[in-house]
Every structure is written in C-alpha cells, then in structure tokens.
Amino acid sequence: MPVLVDTNVLSDVIHDDPMWRPWALDQLLKHFGESLINPMIFAELGCRAASVKELEETLAPFELNYQEIPKPALYLASQAFMDYSKRGGTKTAPLPDFFIGAHAAFLGIPILTRDVARYKTYFPEVALIAP
C-alpha cells in the first residue's frame, strides 16, 4: 500500500538525526518502492538544498514517487485551514501539514511521520505510521 512520507522522516535520514534516523530509515525500508512525496514535501526539503538537481540527487536513493496534489485534496486543505482558524490558529495561510494531510486523506493512504498532532486533529481519518 502506498504511504505519503512526511518531510521530517526524510530529513531525519538525510541530515543524520542521531535520535530519529534509525526509526526513520527502518520505516523507509519497510515502505521502499511504495513511498510518495508531493510538492509541499519537495519544497520543504528544498530549503536546505543548493539546487533542484542537488535535491533530486539526494532523494534518488529513496526511490520516492512524486505526485501532484489533486484539486479535491487542495480543497480539503483549505477546509482544514478554515477549521484551524476557527479554533484560534494564528497563521494567515495554510500550513504544509494541511496539504500533506489532505493529500493522504484524498488518496486514502497513511502518512509516515513523527509529527502526529496536527494530522490527528484535522485529518483523524488518516492512518498514521509514527513512533
């Protein structure tokens, strides 16, 4: 089954986080060949890369499938952001987690993450693979 890999899991492996790398690497190996990323995850990872080429080379060993976010999922992200705002959220634009959560919800697939709070709150129907 496909799984959407959150930015933090890839960052933990790429940047050799001493606490989280073993868990993240184990999970990525368990889901090898069926892992997806989307434009939000790519953009977040790009913040520490010198170029698109460098980022693509860094991600190549993971054999991630890149998938655009469909319009219905984008709409779900906007609705989650509206809910966030009604609950007193202070951000003025949707956060990346809203796009990631909505994409997983639309596809009906789990998210591989270690940051569960926002997903549990705004996308409770999405299964989470977390420590």
pLDDT tens digit at each of 131 positions of the chain: 899 999 999 999 999 999 999 999 999 999 999 999 999 999 999 999 999 999 999 999 999 999 999 999 999 999 999 999 999 989 988 899 999 999 999 999 999 999 999 999 999 999 999 99
- State the CATH number of the domain containing residue 49: 3.40.50.1010
| Per-residue CA distances from 124 to 6, 40, 81, 106 (Å) | 16, 20, 14, 13
pLDDT of 94 reads 87
CB < 8 Å & 24+ apart, contacts of 15-20: 15/48, 20/114, 20/131
Total structural domains in the chain? 1
User: pTM for the complete prediction?
Assistant: 0.93
Q: Which domain holds residue 95?
A: 3-129
